[in-house]
Structure 1
Amino acid sequence: MRIGVVLPSVEVQRRDRLDLATAARHAEDAGLDSVWHGDHLATGAPTVECTVALAVAATATHRIGIGASVFVPALRPLVWAAKAVAGLQLVSGGRLLLGVGSGGGPAQWAAAGVPFRERGPRTDTALRLLPRLLTGAPVTLPDGAPVTLAPGVRVPPLWVGNASAVAIDRAARLGDGWFPSLITPDAVAAGRERLLGTASRHLTITIGAVAALGEAPGTPTRADLAAGIAAAYRHTARDAADIPLTGGPAEAADRVARYAASGATHLVAGVSGPDWRTQVDLLAEVRRTVRT
């Protein structure tokens, strides 16, 4: 199981006196496999633009994967989205991992000037055309315009986000993997069965998780995290309690192993706690424990 971490939010950076470059290097030095950043336009919370944040992480590190969790290409003109992705793949030396989604509420889409009802078809078009655009092959856009981008780059893995049946089928048709977040191991196993029934090739399964490790004062409890998950994602209380990674590394590793047994090969954790660096160190210990 490969384990990555979501880079600290603007709020956490200020609290912990931690910039994105330092955070990415810390995760790499700790032994994690990847660092990740979300793609949000107009949520009300302070955020760094996804491709800017990942470019900082890429140029500050040498080995670790650089991931978008998840990039929303349909919010942008497709060629601009492809150019940004190609740039990230270039400056990272081919380390990009591209989660792709169509999420965000109507306000975000309105802010981008894109009708909310078009998010699904625009995402399908992006997944269909991005590989050719990224390699520098000639592409005819939906409006008939020809375009060829340069320089061409190796296409990163395209992991389709969301746990819905629509997302699973989109991953089977157009992606290299499925990337649901905050779902139970049993739900992962059920999604894997759907993938196996519809995909014509092997697909990677990556899980987005939430973790609050250790017992330092101020660390959220499992009940705290479960309550937030239940409210935000409409899970039952029982399912929500089955999702967070909490406790010491051995306890958390047991839960990660359940996801691995359900078919997941990657896990990306957003961490909560009084110190981001400490959480990353504990998450790296979870990774080492799972491997052994």
Structure 2
Amino acid sequence: MKVGVHLPAFGVDPAAGTAEHARHAEDVGLESVWVGDHLIPNRPYLDSTLALATAAAVTERVRLGFGVMIVALRPVAWVAKQVASLQHLSGGRVLLGVGSGGPVHGDAAWRAVGVPYRERGARTDAALEALPALIAGRPAKVDGEEVVLSPGATVPPVLVGGGAATLRRAARFGDEWYAAFSGPAEIAAGLGRLRELAEEYGRPVPRLTVGVSVGLGDLPAARIDAQVRGLTDYGMSEDEARGSLIVGGPERASERFAELAEAGAHRIIAMPFPEDRMRQTELVAETAALLG
């Protein structure tokens, strides 16, 4: 089981920055660090590509994950240029999570870049169609024009993020399905459908990465309740949100991680919600160690 951790968005931890958190995650033995991708969120948020470039510059081993990049907000050639550059700068450590963006991203970001919200799915599919060739430096069609970018780079694993509605996209384009805030029953059902779709497309069955919201240690009930309310912004009911949280000590958390592994996950990405993010990263690493 591979275990990674989300780096804090700007403003979450005033005591340490992206570089310090990335180094700490590598030092405690985690497999990967991840960043979300928001243009106009409800709190300050760093650009995902620059945050990962900073993490790459101060680490040697840890993998660098987009969790997930909203590619439809950007011209696809620029996405490919940035990803290829990050592959060169990091020594090929990128994990390219891709999503179409949902209501949690709001309307303002789409209006700001002149992209109709209703087109986000089609634009995401078009980007995923073109990205492998563009990143690799091979000729690709972009809006009817042949484009070749240089220098090309090794195409990173593509993780298609989303729930059951995105399984067809994951089967068609993804090396992995990135399911966030999902429980064992949901991901087991999703993997069954994913196998059917992969066979339909004649592709290997994508592997599974699961993102989970974690708050480890002794937390006040009010802090957990606040996180539950935040998760309902992603379309979850209050009961679903509360059930998806992983709380308690490393021993209890390792049992929940093991359930996800049994359901089919090969990687878990912990998204800590308490403010003591350095300590949370250490507790996540303790949880990973208990899994063996």
Question: CA contact under 8 A between 1:185 and 1:259: conserved in structure 2?
Answer: yes
Shift, 1:35, TM fit? 0.4
1:71-115 Cα distance to aligned partner (Å, 9 max, x none)? 111111111111011111111100000100010332211111111
Question: CA contact under 8 A between 1:213 and 1:279: conserved in structure 2?
Answer: yes
Say whether 1:212 aligns with 2:210.
no
Say whether 1:288 aligns with 2:289.
yes
Give the structure 2 partner of residue 130 of structure 1.
Answer: 131
* C-alpha separation in 1, matches of 2:269 and 2:111: 29
Query: Please, what is the CA RMSD of the aligned residues?
Result: 1.6
* C-alpha separation in 1, matches of 2:249 and 2:155: 38
Give the structure 1 partner of residue 58 of structure 2.
Answer: 60
1:45-69 Cα distance to aligned partner (Å, 9 max, x none)? 1111110000000111000010001
Give the structure 2 partner of residue 260 of structure 1.
Answer: 261
TM-score (norm 1): 0.93
Equivalenced residue count is 285
* C-alpha separation in 2, matches of 1:65 and 1:272: 21
* C-alpha separation in 2, matches of 1:206 and 1:145: 34
Shift, 1:224, TM fit? 4.7
Instruction: Map residues 115-126 of structure 1 onto 2, 5 A cutoff.
Output: 115-126=116-127
Question: CA contact under 8 A between 1:207 and 1:267: conserved in structure 2?
Answer: yes
Give the structure 2 partner of residue 146 of structure 1.
Answer: 146
Task: Return the letter of the residue paired with 2:187.
Answer: V
Shift, 1:196, TM fit? 0.8
Give the structure 2 partner of residue 162 of structure 1.
Answer: 162
Instruction: Map residues 49-198 of structure 1 onto 2, 5 A cutoff.
Output: 49-103=47-101, 104-141=105-142, 143-165=143-165, 167-198=166-197
Question: CA contact under 8 A between 2:227 and 2:273: conserved in structure 1?
Answer: no
Question: CA contact under 8 A between 2:12 and 2:275: conserved in structure 1?
Answer: no
Question: CA contact under 8 A between 1:219 and 1:274: conserved in structure 2?
Answer: no
* C-alpha separation in 1, matches of 2:160 and 2:283: 28
* C-alpha separation in 2, matches of 1:147 and 1:235: 41
Question: CA contact under 8 A between 1:2 and 1:265: conserved in structure 2?
Answer: yes
Query: For the structure 1 residues 46 and 125, does the alpha-carbon distance in structure 2 shift closer, same or farther, using more than 3 Å as the test?
Result: same
Contiguous gaps of at least 5 residues in structure 1: none
Task: Return the letter of the residue paired with 2:6.
Answer: V
Question: CA contact under 8 A between 1:212 and 1:220: conserved in structure 2?
Answer: no
Task: Return the letter of the residue paired with 2:196.
Answer: G
Task: Return the letter of the residue paired with 1:105.
Answer: G
Say whether 1:249 aligns with 2:250.
yes
Question: CA contact under 8 A between 2:10 and 2:44: conserved in structure 1?
Answer: yes
Task: Return the letter of the residue paired with 1:54.
Answer: L
Query: For the structure 1 residues 121 and 234, does the alpha-carbon distance in structure 2 shift closer, same or farther, using more than 3 Å as the test?
Result: closer
* C-alpha separation in 1, matches of 2:54 and 2:32: 14
Give the structure 1 partner of residue 36 of structure 2.
Answer: 38
Shift, 1:225, TM fit? 3.4
* C-alpha separation in 2, matches of 1:219 and 1:55: 35
3-state SS of 1:67 partner: strand
Instruction: Map residues 6-17 of structure 1 onto 2, 5 A cutoff.
Output: 6-14=6-14, 17=15
Query: For the structure 1 residues 130 and 247, does the alpha-carbon distance in structure 2 shift closer, same or farther, using more than 3 Å as the test?
Result: same
TM-score (norm 2): 0.93
Question: CA contact under 8 A between 2:13 and 2:276: conserved in structure 1?
Answer: no
3-state SS of 1:180 partner: strand
Say whether 1:226 aligns with 2:228.
yes
3-state SS of 1:220 partner: helix
Query: For the structure 1 residues 235 and 216, does the alpha-carbon distance in structure 2 shift closer, same or farther, using more than 3 Å as the test?
Result: closer
Question: CA contact under 8 A between 2:34 and 2:65: conserved in structure 1?
Answer: yes
Question: CA contact under 8 A between 1:41 and 1:108: conserved in structure 2?
Answer: yes
* C-alpha separation in 2, matches of 1:73 and 1:112: 12
Q: Percent identity?
A: 44
Contiguous gaps of at least 5 residues in structure 2: none
Tell which deviates more after alignment, 104-113 or 64-73: 104-113
* C-alpha separation in 1, matches of 2:74 and 2:226: 36
Query: For the structure 1 residues 105 and 213, does the alpha-carbon distance in structure 2 shift closer, same or farther, using more than 3 Å as the test?
Result: same
